[in-house]
A and B are shown apart, each in its own frame.
Chain A
Amino acid sequence: MSPLEQLAKGLAAGKIRVVDLTETLSPEFPHISLPPEMGQAWPFRIEEVSHYDERGPAWYWNNFSCGEHTGTHFDAPVHWISGKDLPNNATDSIPPERFIGPAFVVDCSTQAAADPDFLLTKDFLVRWEKRHGRIAPRSWVLMRTDWSRRSSDAEAYQNYDETGQHTPGPDTDAVKFLVEERDILGFGTESIGTDAGQAYHLRPPYPCHYYMHGAGRYGLQCLTNLDKLPATGAVIVAAPLKIRNGSGSPLRVLALVEEK
């Protein structure tokens, strides 16, 4: 039996489970906020075109609008200034085989629950590898924080106070370690950015964007259901829309998980 036949049969028999890592696109879902004088990403909005009515008697459909970085979304290298001149750096030019890859899920949920500003460090990753094995090249590293459990409460999800946003993310050394020493495909989080809420104050600001995209790697954010994934062994399918020179795109992120 070929590997693809095995996959199809495994899916049909329920031996391979599909886990949806995607939040539902809706107007209520929190969107990224920048200082008001800057350009703003459009939040997700939807307007009915017709609903089996005088505007279209037998059909229902909507128009929707949103920025490239809305809801559960993919960041392409061209998104950041550090990745602007790389080859194949946009949603339409990234080789499609990069959209499928293994996932290593690093559970930081206890730490994030205790500290919303929790920063994932290189040391934390090295200790994690001692228990779960070395992170393989060309893999997604997904930072599980269970932050997605806040997604029905926009205020808790955004978690702003007078000093800005407080959400967990990686520190500079962790990002450099993953890119330079583990050659990963990309980094994924459950909060609004791949970087921590206070990452503006790190050096450089927004290190995950800076180094990950500077090395031609990708980002996934606003993921959910990471708690349903094993630490190792899942395969991620994450293909952004083929937007010409797109910097990112909302997308459906699926994980294939083998039933034990």
Chain B
Amino acid sequence: MLERPKRKNPVLRTRLPTLPPAARSRIALGLTAAAALGRFELQQCRACGSVQYPPREACRKCLSTQLAWRAQPRGGELLSETVLHHSNDLFFRERLPWRLGLVRLDCGPTVVAHLHERVPAAPSRVNVDVKLDRAGQAVMVALPSEENANMAEDRQLREFTCDPRFRKVLVTDGKSLLGQSLVHAFAKAQAELIWVGYAEPWKKFAGFAELKALPQVTLLPLDVTDSKNVREVAGEIGGKVDILVNNAELHRTYGIANRPGIDTARAEMDVNYFGLLRLAQEFGPPMRSRGADGLASAVAWVNVLSIYALANFPAHGTFSASKAAACSLAQCLRAEMRPAGVRVIDVFPGPIDDEWNQLLPPPKLAPATLAAAVVKALQEGVEDLYPGDVAQEWLARWRDNPKALEREMSA
């Protein structure tokens, strides 16, 4: 049972972040690629059908090299377990004791897995999941076969997830419908504190009073196009933010030919791309310094991008380009945050049901649905989130044939 962490004594040293072993072969990164999407995939032999683990070049049964990553059933049986009381690895050394076990998967292989505290003693049924660890690499985690409300409260599991519970969250734009839904979702997920930024304070927005009424919410002027303002806000709260959600966005509905000049496109870049860069330069360093700050450490950075970052939607062409730029920068941020164990989560929604998608036909993603998906991604430790049917379909089409998707988008 996870207890509310004690208030931090501000004169004590903050320990430096350490990472679990991160080396993986290129083939083993297939496991990481699936885990990043929250999928449980193992290699399966196209010739004989046998499931492989650990990842390998050739089938352990028939030596075929035709191995493909396929979704697998998660069930298995815990064969044996052990509790580590000693480790020479710096990461585990600081987190002992640590419970591990051997699980025989129903699909064949036997794997070493981290054990949730509620997994009964062997032999017992478990569900195995692949999670990203603090090094951003896939590891096996065995969970009790019966889901229960305390699933996310396990101390070990919290090392693989970014649960907002007891954590302090910054939502960069509270003016948008999505921003307000995010704040309400984080409040429901028991975030300790929620800072909510809002630009151009003279323009009132609906929902302001409701946000202000939430006891954990602090509203503060934040304009991601203003470097000085971002620096000052980071100076004020950067050392306390555990989860940063950058949902500040400028969205206009133009391609190249139907809007003279570059002004709108520049404004989109200024918010969607440079805004992320400004936030990353100012909030990145303090968050990196708090990657191992106890149970409520700095843990995640969420970018609300767009499915149009994958393939340009010409009707919203300059917006798509700005999101593609942000997507690329987010990869840079991910590389820079990883040594601290701070996860960068990219969200690729399809059209959100807001005023700038007014003329797009449904299905459109409700802001509250998207907000709930973001919180769930944090709780489950996903790295790339494609929320909703539209995004999932695009992802599948993009993975299958990016050129075909490009043509389909411009049809």
Interface size on B, residues (CB 8 A): 16
Residues 40-56 of A at the B interface (beta carbon under 8 Å): 40, 43, 45-47
* Residues 221-260 of chain B, each 1 if its beta carbon lies under 8 Å from chain A, else 0: 0010111110000000000000000000000100000000
Chain B residues with Cβ under 8 A from A45's Cβ? 225-227
A40 touches B267 (CB 8 A): yes
Q: Do B263 and A39 touch (CB < 8 A)? A: yes
Given contacts A39-B264, A40-B263, are A161 and B225 in contact (CB under 8 A)? no
Choose among A27, A33, A160 the residue that contacts B228 (Cβ–Cβ < 8 A): A27
The segment from B28-36, B104-112, B197-205, B295-303 that touches chain A is B197-205
Q: What residues on B are CB-neighbors of A46 within 8 Å? A: 227-228
- Assembled-state Cα–Cα distance A162/B205 (Å): 10
Interface residue tally for chain A (C-beta within 8 Å): 19
How far is it, in angstroms, between the C-alpha of A28 and the C-alpha of B225 when the chains are bound?
Answer: 11
CB neighbors of B among A141-165 (8 A): 154-155, 157-162
Q: Which of B201, B225, B263, B264 contacts A155 (CB 8 A)?
A: B201
Q: Does A30 contact B (CB under 8 A)?
A: yes
Q: Which residues does chain A contribute within 8 Å of B229, judged by CB atoms?
A: 27-28
Nearest residue (CB) in B for A44 is: B226
The DSSP consensus for interface residues of chain B is loop
Chain B residues with Cβ below 8 Å from A155 are 201-202
Q: Collect the chain A residues with CB atoms within 8 Å of residue B223's CB.
A: 27
Question: B200 to chain A: which residues have CB within 8 Å?
Answer: 33
Q: Report the bound CA distance from A45 to B228 in whole Å.
A: 9
In whole Å, how far is B202's beta carbon from the nearest beta carbon of chain A? Answer: 4
Q: A40-B263, A40-B267 are in contact. Are A161 and B228 (CB under 8 A)?
A: no
Across-interface contacts of B264 in A (CB, < 8 A) = 39
Could you tell me the distance between the alpha carbons of A43 and B202 in the complex, rounded to whole angstroms? 14
Nearest CB in chain B: distance from A2 CB, A: 47
Q: How far is the CB of A28 from chain B (nearest CB, A)?
A: 8
26 residue pairs bridging A and B, Cβ less than 8 Å apart: A27-B223, A27-B226, A27-B228, A27-B229, A28-B229, A33-B202, A33-B203, A37-B252, A39-B261, A39-B264, A40-B263, A40-B267, A43-B225, A43-B226, A45-B225, A45-B227, A46-B228, A154-B201, A155-B201, A155-B202, A157-B202, A158-B203, A159-B202, A160-B204, A161-B204, A162-B204
